[in-house]
Every structure is written in structure tokens, then in C-alpha cells.
Structure 1
Amino acid sequence: MMRTALLLTVIAVGMCLTATNSLPVYPPEPVYPAFPFPRIEEYNEIVNWPWGTVDMTQPPVSSPTEFSGLNVAILAASGAEDVEFIYPYIFFKARGANVEVIGVEWQQKVGVQISDWIKPTYVVDITRTCKDVHVQQRKYDVIAIVGGSWSSAVMRNDPDCTAIVRDAVHGGNTIVAPICSGNEVLVNTGLLAESHCDITGSPFSGDILTLAGGNFKGSELVVIPAQYKGMLISGNGPAAMFKWVQAIRQAIIDHR
């Protein structure tokens, strides 16, 4: 009796849905604006994060040609933190560097969606894929690895991305600079296991970096381990941006 009643109820609901054509209608996918390249030289903003306020003021530009001839790669996948992407992009671009966005192959057609924490803000075109950079053995003066949890997870599990980073560090001629959870890309490179070097980044990355062999430094803003002769520079997050780019700038001066 109960089974019959249940069956009749299901049939009745189905008939109602068919009669009224009331199947759920989902809203269209939002269209996010393309990142406005190039941006103004000065990117000054106060960012209100859940855990506090961060001053994103750029260092003053003393010379717009300071980094002329410098090749910079920014490694990012969708979910990259927008302030961690925009800040180094503006810093290098405002000083005359050639800046390329390097992403995974499967995101080349759709671009990299960068986000304000978890809210998408821009779509960024990929200049080259990690595979192209790896196969062609392209060289960069600086490789910046931005944070954003999903971006970091995607990049560290891309073998071409990890090969680029590992080869750059071993080559000794490229400054490799992860920020926040971007340091997780180092986990699958073997660099932490071979050197047990000091590293900083997002506090949520501490366990995975320690398990990979790194000496996680917690809340320190910028860490430059001695093992890699000033060519590996990590920052712990948005609050470290100013000091992080200044440390990169000093390394460029020291190694030119």
C-alpha cells in the first residue's frame, strides 16, 4: 500500500513538472573582464582582508627603464590571488621589463582566471604554456610564482611547471620567487628535499613544505636561503609584497 502511494506521488510530481515546464533554469555564466594591460605605473590600494588591512602601495619608480631587457615570467593558474599577480606585474612592467604570463597547457584557450581571495575578478591571457617554456628551454631572469590555493595545486602538479622551476634554480642564473602558497610548487621539484633550505609562505602551507624537506620559517616576511646564493626568494603573503619585490630588485642588481 505504501509502495503504491509513493509511486503515485512520484508520477504526480513528474506530471506537474511536465505540465508546467518548471524545470530549473540556471543563470548564464558570468563574463569576467580581461585584465587591463598595461596598468598604470602606480598601483596603490588598501586591501581589506578577513584578517586585517594590507597596504598594497608600490615602491616609487625611480627609472622607467631600470629593468629594460629583463625577462620576467609570472607562473599562475586559475584561482591565482589577484593582488599577488597584479603587484609583481606592475612592479616589473613599470620599470621596463618584458613580463610574460606562463600557465598550464589546458588553460591556454580560456585564460587564467585570477581572483580576489575566492571571487573571480579578471581573466588573463597566457603568453606561453609551461610545456612550451620547458621544451624550448626558454630562459628568464626572474620567475615569480604567485599564490592562490587552486593555482598552486594546479601548478605544482604540472610536470612542465615543476621542471621549469627546478631547472631555473639549478641553473643559478634565474631568481625564483614564490609568494604565499606559490611556494607549494617547490614541493614537487625535489629542491626542498635536496637542500632542506629555509622557506616561508602561507601558514597553511607549513606542513606540506616541512614534509617535503623544507625548513618552514612561519611568520617571517621574506626568506633568502644561503644554499641558493640569493636566487631563491620567498614571501609569506600579501603583507610581504613590498619587501618581497625589493628583495628581488636587490638580487637583480647583485647578479647583473
Structure 2
Amino acid sequence: MPVAHLLNAPGNEGLRQFFFDPIDDDQQLAGRKIAVIAADGFEEIELLGPVWYFRALGAQVDVVSMKANPAPARFGLTMPEMAQDHIMAIQYLQPVGWVKVDRRVDEIQVADYDAIFIPGGAWNPDNLRNDKDVIAFIQAFNQSGKLVAAICHAPVVLATADILKGKKLTGYWNVHTDLVNAGGQVLDQSVVVDGNLITSRHPIDVADFSRTVAEWLTENKNAK
């Protein structure tokens, strides 16, 4: 899923416009702090698109990941030295580069941020949902009433955190059953807002997802 092909594909004109239109208010999210929680295998546009947008609106955005946890030697896998403090981006299934990690999830507190969001990707959500520190942080953050957002496959991390019961939400089509089994009411639309939860379906929804997160934070200025 090369980003250039995605932006130029018929029907995706709105997504392309999102990235190329000037920002109207570069102070809309000034003073807001957002954590993007991600691990190896995140979908590139689902992380970098919203991060670019929120920073362009004046927010501080940190990339937060788990503690580095190399595969056991018997797996026969080797990772570059960069993997110690970076996470791997993918486009669909193809690795395409690395993003620097700002903080580790066991180093942060709920009070540090006004919102969190989780990008999707082929294996990023599976890495996150298996980490007890990630799950505990999401549960505490949700309990605070602050904004929790997820796109594509990422809502399965929220299912593992057991915060979807009775919630309206969406996600990538092949995880809908998981979301229903977690107690959610799944809708097939580009973005769904239910209280402090915002979810979207796939990379084509990045523009709607990002704008909705920004609008929620603007309308809920006291959600600190």
C-alpha cells in the first residue's frame, strides 16, 4: 500500500486534499499533549498522518512504545541496532522504515497526556495487546475519561483492555467479530465517536479520524 498510490487512487481525493491543503489554525491544539502508542509493524500512514496533523495544529505528540523485547535466539531472527530505540513502519505487509521512540509506556503517567491514539498495521496491535504495561495504561487512561482513539486493526488492543462493553465503534472489517465478542456495537462508517472513544476503519479514513480527534480535543478543553 504505497502512500503515493493510496493518495492518487480514484475515490481518495479527500484523503489527498487532507495532506496538501494548508492548515487553517496552527494553534488549535496548542498546549495539548497526545501519545501515539505503537510497536513494530504499525501502518505508516496511520501513525505519521495523524502525528503530522496534530503537530501542525500545535499539539505535542510523543511516540510511545513498549520496552524493547528481542525475539528469543532460537527463533533465528536478528534485528538491527536501530530496533533498540525505533519501531518499524510498514505499508500493508512491506517494511518501509523506522520511527524514533520518544518514551516507553512504563515511563509515562495518565496525567502526562490529554489523549492517546493507536494506529493499526499487520502486527502492531498483536505486539501491543500482549504487553501488560500497555494494557494497564490504556485501562487507566480510559478510566480517567480522557480521549482514547484507535484506527484499523488497533481496536483489538482496546478489546484486550476490556473497555469496549456497550460502546459503539468501528474497525477494520476482519476484526469486527472480535469487537462484537468484546461487547461492542460495530458500525461500518469512517469514524465513530462514543463518549471518550473514537475509532476508524482503515487508512482511507485517516483524514476523518484525525479531524475528529482534533475536534473532540477542541470541544473538550477541560478534559485534562
Fold-level similarity (TM above 0.5) = yes
CA contact (8 A) 2:150 2:200 kept: yes
Counterparts in 2 of 1:52 and 1:210: CA distance versus 1, 3 Å: farther
Q: Structure 1 residue aligned with 2:122, among 126, 144, 149?
A: 149
Q: Relative contact order (alpha carbons < 8 A, sep ≥ 6): 1 or 2 greater?
A: 2
Distance in 2 of aligned mates of 1:53 and 1:78: 30
TM-score, with structure 2 as normaliser: 0.82
Q: Give the match for residue 31 of structure 1.
A: none
CA RMSD of aligned residues (A): 2.0
Question: Does structure 2 retain, via aligned residues, the 8 Å contact 1:223–1:233?
Answer: yes
Say whether residues 1:75 and 2:37 are aligned partners. Answer: yes
Q: How many residues are aligned here?
A: 201
Deviation at 1:139, TM superposition (A): 2.7
3-state secondary structure, aligned to 1:92: helix
Q: How does 1:41-80 map to 2 (within 5 A)?
A: 46-48=4-6, 54=12, 55-56=15-16, 57-58=18-19, 60-80=22-42
Instruction: Please state how far the C-alpha of 1:251 moved relative to its aligned partner.
Output: 0.7
Equivalent pair of 2:66/2:104 in contact (CA under 8 Å): yes
Map residues 65-214 of structure 1 onto 2, 5 A cutoff. Answer: 65-106=27-68, 109-133=84-108, 136-172=109-145, 174-192=146-164, 195-214=165-184
Q: Normalised by the size of structure 1, how large is the TM-score? A: 0.73
Q: Residues 36-55 of structure 1, C-alpha deviation per residue, up to 9 Å, x if partnerless?
A: xxxxxxxxx64339x97643
Give unmatched runs, 5+ long, in structure 1.
Answer: 1-44
Shift in CA distance, 237/109, structure 1 to aligned 2, threshold 3 Å: same
Superposed CA deviations along residues 179-208 of structure 1, whole A, max 9, x for unmatched, are 00011111111112xx32111010011111
**Larger radius of gyration, structure 1 or 2?**
1
The equivalent of 1:33 in structure 2 is: none
Deviations 1:75-104 (A, max 9, x none): 111110001011101001112211100111
Unaligned runs of 5+ residues in structure 2 are 70-82
1:245 aligns with 2:210: yes
Which of structure 1's runs of 4+ aligned residues deviate more than 4 A? none
State which of 190, 201, 220 in structure 2 corresponds to 1:255: 220
SS, match of residue 62 in structure 1: coil
Equivalent position of 1:14 in the other structure: none
Partner of 2:192: 223
